[in-house]
Amino acid sequence: MNTQKIVVGLDIGTTKICAIVGRANEYGKVDILGIGKVPSNGGVTRGVVSNIDRTVAAISEAVKMAEDVANVNIKNVQVGIAGAHISSLQHRGMLIRNDSEKEISISDLNKLEADMYKLAVKPGDKILHVIPQDYTVDDEPGFTEPVGMAGIKLEGNFHIITGQISAAKNIYKCVEKTGLRISDLTLEPLASAMAVLSPEEMEAGIVLVDIGGGTTDVAIFHENIIRHTAIIPYGGNIITDDIKEGCFVMKSHAEALKTKFGMALAMEAAENEIITIPGLKGRDPKEISVKNLAKIIQARMQEILELVYFEIKSSGLEKKLAGGIVLTGGGALLKHITHLASYVTGLDARVGHPNEHLAKGMVEEVNSPIYATGIGLVMKGINDAYLSENNIKEDPSQVAEKKDKDTKIKKGFSIFNMKLIKKWLADDKDFNDFD
């Protein structure tokens, strides 16, 4: 048995827990080796662990399923973090260099970035990511890569993402109780962006909207840099609750109505189309109007998209988003969701499927917006300076080709290094030390 560089992405979501096993192939694409998906069973609420035992059980089941399909022994996982506790702020830092003759170096940028982690945040929070925006050298603004330049005063603008220490600790606790180790913890919309956005879209300016079960995550990119992030504390589950109350049905029936017959634009629903669902305990079947169902869904989805639009305006980039909006997550599966998004925001919209960087194989199984975060976490791990080390049961004849393949992998994935991922998607935090 030999060890190959494979990565496991673990998406701990409100409605599902999903483990995806993948690795880079010799052509620089991601091979999906296995997947395990199970319901969260009430262990996660709005992106935050709310029941340790249920979450541990679901993680164990999902990981076991992925192990069996991929024929691997999983030890390390890349995990996403989200939830309403996530917040962000902008801050400017300054560094006075002693020697004006020496060029600005990477260590200068690292020191400026490290200073950001010393900022005071509200009690119970910790800085998760520090994302450089641009730099000013001797009062000359607008530099994105000042390394090699001469100058005494170096200033930088940073986008800083914070989250609750307790939320991160509970994620660690759940994963470690299953016998696994977290290689890295990454903000989920950043992971999703890697899976569904193209480099051209990130350059042109684009909004990623990941509509999950408990939250809607927003990430805005411009000129290959993440400029704005936000977590909206509403997702697909609140639409299910609206249907349950508005149609007087059980929650399981409400979820089925949403996924099978739901649409985001009431004007597209047929006037006289009726859905019949079984009655409770021998009662008469209940009739639901497709038109009324669509009205309930549109009302809540429009509210969520208006909150997204508020974040777009708050970012100051509303007029610089040539790429428009990419919708992903389970909520992106609603019919006519792109039309409603365009109506609310005035921007072009498309649904993001995480297939752009996948090799042939299990593409059909994972080619759905619901897997965007999990696949993005796999891609994140592949691009890290270190890779999760899991024992793969492989054919010994493959070992001879390993070195040559690794070289090609680095070349194939170079597009995700430097500007697109930067240090802010690398190992820039240590959640094992919260005290």
> For 360-411, how does the pLDDT look when each residue is reduced to its tens digit (9 = 90+)?
776 777 889 999 999 999 999 988 733 334 444 444 444 444 444 443 333 3
**In the chain, what is the straight-line distance between the N-terminal and C-terminal CA atoms, in Å?**
40
* Co-location of 111 and 141 in the same domain: yes
* Co-location of 182 and 73 in the same domain: yes
Model confidence pLDDT, tens digit, residues 299-350: 999 999 999 999 999 999 999 999 999 999 999 999 999 999 999 999 999 9
Question: 3-state DSSP call for residue 266?
Answer: helix
Predicted confidence (pLDDT) at residue 132 exceeds the cutoff of 80 = yes
Alpha helices in 150-187 (DSSP H): 165-177
Which has more pLDDT, 413 or 178? 178
pLDDT of 362 reads 67
Q: What is the domain-level CATH number for residue 154?
A: 3.30.1490.110
Model confidence pLDDT, tens digit, residues 169-225: 999 999 999 999 999 899 999 999 999 999 999 999 999 999 999 999 999 999 999
Can you give the pTM of this predicted structure? 0.84
Least confident span in 97-101, 157-161, 403-407: 403-407
pLDDT of 4 reads 52
Q: How many Å apart are CA 377 and CA 17, to the nearest integer?
A: 13
* Co-location of 230 and 329 in the same domain: yes
Q: Which residues lie closer than 8 Å to 45 by C-beta, 6 or more apart?
A: 14, 214
For residue 166, the one-letter residue type is S
- Please give the tally of structural domains in the chain: 3
- Cα angle 50, 352, 329 (rounded to 5 degrees) comes to 15
pLDDT of 413 reads 35
At residue 345, φ and ψ (nearest 5 deg) are -100, -20
Picking from 283, 299, 282, 281, the residue whose alpha carbon sits closest to that of residue 243 is: 299
Which pLDDT band holds residue 423 (cuts at 50, 70, 90)? very low
Q: Are 97 and 154 in contact (CB under 8 A)?
A: yes
Q: How many Å apart are CA 227 and CA 433, to the nearest integer?
A: 28
* Co-location of 77 and 177 in the same domain: yes
Where among 299, 325, 352 does a domain terminate? 352
User: Which residue range is the domain that position 132 belongs to?
Assistant: 87-163
Q: How many Å apart are CA 165 and CA 435, to the nearest integer?
A: 9
Neighbouring-strand partners of residue 260: none
Q: How many Å apart are CA 332 and CA 211, to the nearest integer?
A: 7
* Co-location of 225 and 315 in the same domain: yes
Q: Which residues lie closer than 8 Å to 100 by C-beta, 6 or more apart?
A: 150, 151, 152
Strands 225-232 and 286-289: unpaired
* Co-location of 176 and 69 in the same domain: yes
Q: What proportion of the chain, given as a percentage, has pLDDT over 90?
A: 74
Torsion, Cα 333 335 341 347, to 10 degrees, reads 90
- Detail the DSSP E strand segments found in 280-339: 286-289, 325-328
DSSP 403: H
In this prediction, residues 94-113 reach a mean pLDDT of 90
Q: How many Å apart are CA 171 and CA 188, to the nearest integer?
A: 13
For the chain, state the CA radius of gyration: 23
* Co-location of 328 and 372 in the same domain: no
